[in-house]
Amino acid sequence: MRRQLNEALKLIERDLSSALGRPKMSEVITAASYAPAFEEVVRVAPPSTGLALVLPEPNLARLDARVTVVQVAASGAMTVEVVNGTINGATTLAYLAGVGTVEFILTPEGWYGWSVSLVASFPLTGLAAQAANTIVANATGASAIPTAVAVSADSLLARVGGNLVSHPWSTVAGAGLTYSAGALAVGAGAGVTVNANDVAVTTPLTDGGKGDITVATNGTVWTIDALAVGSAKLAPDAVTQAKLADNSVEPANLVASILFGVPFVITQPMTAGAAGTADDVEIYNANAPFALRIIDVWALLNTAIVGSTIQLRSATGGGGSARSSVLSSAATGTVRNNDTATQQVGAAGSLYIRRSDRGVAGRVLILALRE
């Protein structure tokens, strides 16, 4: 009974407000739905889940009746519906979240609403039919009324020159590209292999000189040219003792930084050749870095020839002056110079190991002093 009385009072209040020309203004509605009365001013703040506003059922006796909605705040959108009627020719009308005012008026065709501050969403079904495979745009290079621009099969809309045109993909696929069935592909060819996830360039580097490097064997062998790596191309302290190969520094390359009176060792390897023939192993060939005095000589032999000898001399072919005693190379092991006096090599002088048989191999160690 009490509920029925409240509803009756509410109807009387609305009718009085309408009759007196004073629209009823509601409290701010934050609920999920609300049904305003004719001539009511509704203040709403739609929640994030949205607000459904249900307008009164159309009544021809109330033509030109209005409902004003003031959206004071919004977290969500507002949807407007009508009981047994339409709104702007549709069953529902949605307004995006925002702040503003919208007014609805009852006409013989149903409710109509308009707003200059709230944006209503417009259903795509309300648009006029559009020709297949077209877009509506201003395709010219100047201001103009939009028109329908047809997009041909296997084409894209692109600006070519000053206008938007339907541009074939086959034209976009320039040199090295192909187009087929909606896909651009990189064309394979000589030296180019197209894989599922990458493109590999397999053309070998041509043989020949490439600055300080010579390329050979169809680009597979790279050789640094002799004397190409000088001191300017080496980082400071880049070459350590551990990085020097055995016998990689020849005695002729000893620098003059060796101190006077400080003993140093010259080491010269002997590589075995064809046995039975004498030869000379060069230590200095008119290029001794400074004058030096030979104090002692050892030979570490790993290949011996019966009856053979070795000796330091100042010239090839066994000529010049002896710079050591004759050392036997008939057996492997270590043999030592037995000179009773030291020998001298002048600056830019020559020094050789004379082998009576080139089949002898090992290493000669010379203890010397700079003079």
Q: pLDDT tens-digit profile of 263-309?
A: 999 999 999 999 999 999 999 999 999 999 999 999 999 999 999 99
327 and 363 assigned to the same domain = yes
For 223, residues 6+ apart whose C-beta sits below 8 A from its C-beta are: 213, 214, 216
Secondary structure E strands in 154-201? 155-160, 163-168, 177-180, 183-186, 192-194, 199-201
Taking residues 313-322, report their average pLDDT: 95
In a domain, 186, yes or no: no
In a domain, 248, yes or no: no
| CATH code for position 27 | 2.60.120
Q: Which domain holds residue 166?
A: 134-172
- Residue 298: count of CB within 10 angstroms of its CB: 17
Distances (CA, A) of 362 to 5, 83, 265, 306, 336: 127, 114, 16, 15, 13
38 and 60 assigned to the same domain = yes
For 28, residues 6+ apart whose C-beta sits below 8 A from its C-beta are: 43, 44, 45, 72
Tell me the two tokens of residue 11: 């109807």
In a domain, 250, yes or no: no
65 and 112 assigned to the same domain = yes
Length of the chain equals 371
Tell me the two tokens of residue 125: 């079904």
In a domain, 151, yes or no: yes
Which region among 140-144, 202-206, 328-332 has the lowest average model confidence (pLDDT)? 202-206
103 and 211 assigned to the same domain = no
55 and 162 assigned to the same domain = no
Fill in the DSSP letter of residue 90: B
Tell me the two tokens of residue 229: 């790596």
101 and 203 assigned to the same domain = no
Distances (CA, A) of 24 to 7, 27, 36, 188: 16, 10, 10, 78
Between CA 335 and CA 340 the distance in angstroms is 16
CB 50 within 8 A of CB 32: yes
Q: Quote the pLDDT of residue 252.
A: 46
Q: Residue 156's beta-bridge partner residues?
A: 167
For 130, residues 6+ apart whose C-beta sits below 8 A from its C-beta are: 136, 148
In a domain, 192, yes or no: no
9 and 115 assigned to the same domain = yes
CB 53 within 8 A of CB 118: no
CB 105 within 8 A of CB 80: no
For 236, residues 6+ apart whose C-beta sits below 8 A from its C-beta are: none
76 and 143 assigned to the same domain = no
Between CA 254 and CA 273 the distance in angstroms is 26
What digits encode the pLDDT tens for the residues 36-85? 999 999 999 999 899 999 999 999 999 999 999 999 887 888 999 998 99
Say what the pTM is: 0.36
Apex 122 CA angle, 118 and 124, nearest 5 = 165
Q: Looking at the predicted structure, is the pLDDT value of residue 319 above 80?
A: yes
Between CA 266 and CA 284 the distance in angstroms is 11
CB 276 within 8 A of CB 348: no
In a domain, 240, yes or no: no
Q: Residue 368's beta-bridge partner residues?
A: 264, 294
Taking residues 138-149, report their average pLDDT: 84
102 and 33 assigned to the same domain = yes
354 and 269 assigned to the same domain = yes
In a domain, 75, yes or no: yes
- How many helices (H) and strands (E) would you count in the chain? 2, 29
Residue with structure tokens 């296997």?
154
In a domain, 179, yes or no: no
Q: Looking at the predicted structure, is the pLDDT value of residue 185 above 80?
A: no
Q: How many domains does the chain have?
A: 4
What digits encode the pLDDT tens for the residues 335-371? 999 999 999 999 999 999 999 999 999 999 999 999 8
- Residue 37: count of CB within 10 angstroms of its CB: 20
Q: CA neighbours within 13 Å on the CB side: how many for 49? A: 5
Q: What is the CA radius of gyration of the chain?
A: 53
Q: Quote the pLDDT of residue 256.
A: 47
The C-alpha torsion from 121 through 126 and 127 to 129, rounded to 10°, is 150
204 and 270 assigned to the same domain = no
90 and 58 assigned to the same domain = yes
Q: Quote the pLDDT of residue 45.
A: 92
